Structure 1
Amino acid sequence: MDKVELIAPCHFGLEAVLKREIQDLGYEIAGVEDGRVTFYGDAEAVCRANIFLRTAERILWKAGSFKAVTFDELFEKTRALPWEEFIPEDGKFWVAKAASVKSKLFSPSDIQSIMKKAMVKRLQEHYHTEWFKEDGASYPVRVFLMKDIVTIGIDTSGVSLHKRGYREVSGTAPITETLAASLIMLTPWNRERILVDPFCGSGTFPIEAAMMAANIAPGMNRSFTAESWTNLIAKKKWYDAVNEANDLIRDDIEVDIQGYDVDDSVVRIARQNAAEAGVEHLIHFQQRDVKELRHPKKYGFIITNPPYGERLEEKENLPQLYRTFGESFRTLDSWSAYMITSYEDAERYFGRKADKNRKIYNGMLKTYFYQFPGPRPPKRFGSQEERKANR
Structure 2
Amino acid sequence: MSQNITLIATTAMGLESVVATEVKQLGYEVTVENGKIIFEAPVSAIPRCNLWLRSADRVKLQVGRFKADTFDDLFEATKALPWENFITEEGKFPVTGKSVKSTLHSVPDCQAIVKKAIAEKLKLKHGVAGNLPETGSLYKVEVAIHKDEATLSIDTSGSGLHKRGYRNGQGDAPLKETLAAALVMLTNWKPDKPFLDPFCGSGTIPIEAALIGQNIAPGFNREFASEEWNWIKNRHWDEAFEEVEDKANYDQKLDITGSDIDHGMIEISKENATEAGLGDLISWKQMQASDLVLKKQNGYLIGNPPYGQRIGDEAEAAEIYSDIGKIMKNHPTWSVYILTAYDHFEQKYGEKATKKRKLFNGFIQTNYYQYFGRKE
TM-score, length basis structure 1: 0.93
Provide the residue aligned with 2:10 in structure 1. 9
Q: Report deviation, 1:313.
A: 3.4
Runs of 4+ deviating beyond 3 Å: none
Q: Distance in 1 between matches of 2:144 and 2:24?
A: 24
Provide the residue aligned with 2:188 in structure 1. 188
Given that residues 332 and 374 in structure 2 are in contact (C-alpha distance below 8 angstroms), is that contact kept between their aligned partners in structure 1?
Answer: no
Given that residues 290 and 328 in structure 1 are in contact (C-alpha distance below 8 angstroms), is that contact kept between their aligned partners in structure 2?
Answer: no
State the secondary structure of the residue aligned to 2:121: helix
Q: Report deviation, 1:113.
A: 1.6
Provide the residue aligned with 1:242 in structure 2. 241
User: What letter matches 1:357 in structure 2?
Assistant: K
Matched, 1:146 2:150: no
Q: Distance in 1 between matches of 2:262 and 2:107?
A: 42
Given that residues 334 and 374 in structure 2 are in contact (C-alpha distance below 8 angstroms), is that contact kept between their aligned partners in structure 1?
Answer: yes
Provide the residue aligned with 2:310 in structure 1. 311
Provide the residue aligned with 1:204 in structure 2. 204
Output aligned runs, 1:119-130, within 5 Å: 119-129=118-128, 130=130
Given that residues 267 and 285 in structure 1 are in contact (C-alpha distance below 8 angstroms), is that contact kept between their aligned partners in structure 2?
Answer: yes
Aligned Cα root-mean-square deviation (Å): 1.3
Provide the residue aligned with 2:48 in structure 1. 48
Given that residues 359 and 366 in structure 2 are in contact (C-alpha distance below 8 angstroms), is that contact kept between their aligned partners in structure 1?
Answer: yes
Matched, 1:85 2:104: no
Provide the residue aligned with 1:385 in structure 2. none
State the secondary structure of the residue aligned to 1:281: coil
State the secondary structure of the residue aligned to 1:318: helix
Given that residues 323 and 350 in structure 1 are in contact (C-alpha distance below 8 angstroms), is that contact kept between their aligned partners in structure 2?
Answer: yes
Q: Distance in 1 between matches of 2:309 and 2:103?
A: 35
Gapped regions of structure 2 (runs ≥ 5): none
Q: Distance in 2 between matches of 1:315 and 1:88?
A: 55
Provide the residue aligned with 1:221 in structure 2. 221
Matched, 1:293 2:292: yes
State the secondary structure of the residue aligned to 1:164: coil
State the secondary structure of the residue aligned to 1:116: helix
Provide the residue aligned with 2:60 in structure 1. 60
Matched, 1:363 2:357: no
Provide the residue aligned with 1:25 in structure 2. 26
Q: Report deviation, 1:302.
A: 0.6
State the secondary structure of the residue aligned to 1:207: helix
Provide the residue aligned with 1:348 in structure 2. 347
Q: Distance in 2 between matches of 1:287 and 1:114?
A: 55
Cα deviation code 1:105-131 (max 9, x no counterpart)? 223222212211111122222222221
Q: Distance in 1 between matches of 2:365 and 2:324?
A: 22
State the secondary structure of the residue aligned to 2:220: coil
State the secondary structure of the residue aligned to 1:312: coil
Identity of aligned residues (%): 44
Provide the residue aligned with 1:382 in structure 2. none
Cα deviation code 1:28-54 (max 9, x no counterpart)? 22x110111011112211001101111
Provide the residue aligned with 1:137 in structure 2. 137
Cα deviation code 1:153-190 (max 9, x no counterpart)? 11110000010000121112111111111121111111
Q: Distance in 2 between matches of 1:108 and 1:355?
A: 44
Q: Distance in 2 between matches of 1:281 and 1:350?
A: 33
Q: Distance in 2 between matches of 1:182 and 1:306?
A: 16
TM-score, length basis structure 2: 0.96
Q: Report deviation, 1:212.
A: 0.8
State the secondary structure of the residue aligned to 1:317: helix
